[in-house]
Structure 1
């Protein structure tokens, strides 16, 4: 009987002692304490899943805990500004843009096309359930002509950009939206029946160093 009691007591003590597990450490301070590198080979993108409400965070000591996603969102009410700014800056050795370098802002993606005039173009992030008409106005600051104002898909009309269930991911260029060196343009637009308002600023800069030239392409999107 005494032997059985001692064995049971030993098991209880063993379980209690090893409630914290250490890897490369003899003194774990948490349930799992890893002193070294942690590698995760694959995860699932759950950014659009509303069931996932927590985000992992770490402190300077390597402790991993969570915070709620809602605590990272800006306060949103009728008296408080709710603004998001997304920007993209890259260099190229020619005056042509790189279409694959896109900026995603709300429901839209923006990019410069691959021609020497590097027109700004845009497409939708997700396929619509029906045809969507997008109206855009643009302030073009081009030196030979001064300030210019355009709407729609061409210089002389106000026809909207139309995205369908089949062409939603195909980029459409803005009207007269070519960029000369050092030119800056601003576009304003909105998605139908959506409370957000968008402002896109684009800029192209030519740099010359030791008789060689590079170009900076700048796009900044503000969602209000």
Structure 2
């Protein structure tokens, strides 16, 4: 994974120094470099940017002015020659704050913070395993963790999720093949349950979100084993 990065600095010497650091870092990809905030703002609007290396002391429009003007702000590592901007920097929720001249160790530490923050922001999205189902002639994305149980309805099946009930044309058998075996179990000819959502069970039923779902006699051992492996 590489963070798509830009540098905004009116000093060409300083830009060259940071470009070199970015190009030598395995987790960064340089998208562009800008010498002023106006160019940078257009670049941020037209590109998918994860991280800005931003000089605070630029003429006309400062680094802080640029931050003020951005709607969806990527992560920011501020670069400055003056230590007295540190407090103001934290008001803008910047990831880190580098003093000129920038040392390699300090640069690497700042990038590490940005990577950790990026992973925290994106973890939720990556963790959400999903499938696509066809319902009412439309394709719908269904997050697997949102499915509470699946119920047979003749030629159709009903997916009971946190958001809604989704009815799709499918057999239980073919739909079961789309689901990860370690998370879902068919506990009855008419029911598949999300193991994570089971609140309690006895020899006849499992309870999911307050609803009693029948448990087949021949599935009891399989259910107990599956829940033990969780």
* Bin of the TM-score, shorter chain as denominator length: under 0.3
Q: Which has the higher contact order (CA 8 A, sep 6+)?
A: 1
Q: Which has the larger radius of gyration?
A: 1
Q: Which structure has greater helix proportion?
A: 2
Q: Which structure has greater strand proportion?
A: 1
Q: TM-score, normalised by structure 2?
A: 0.21
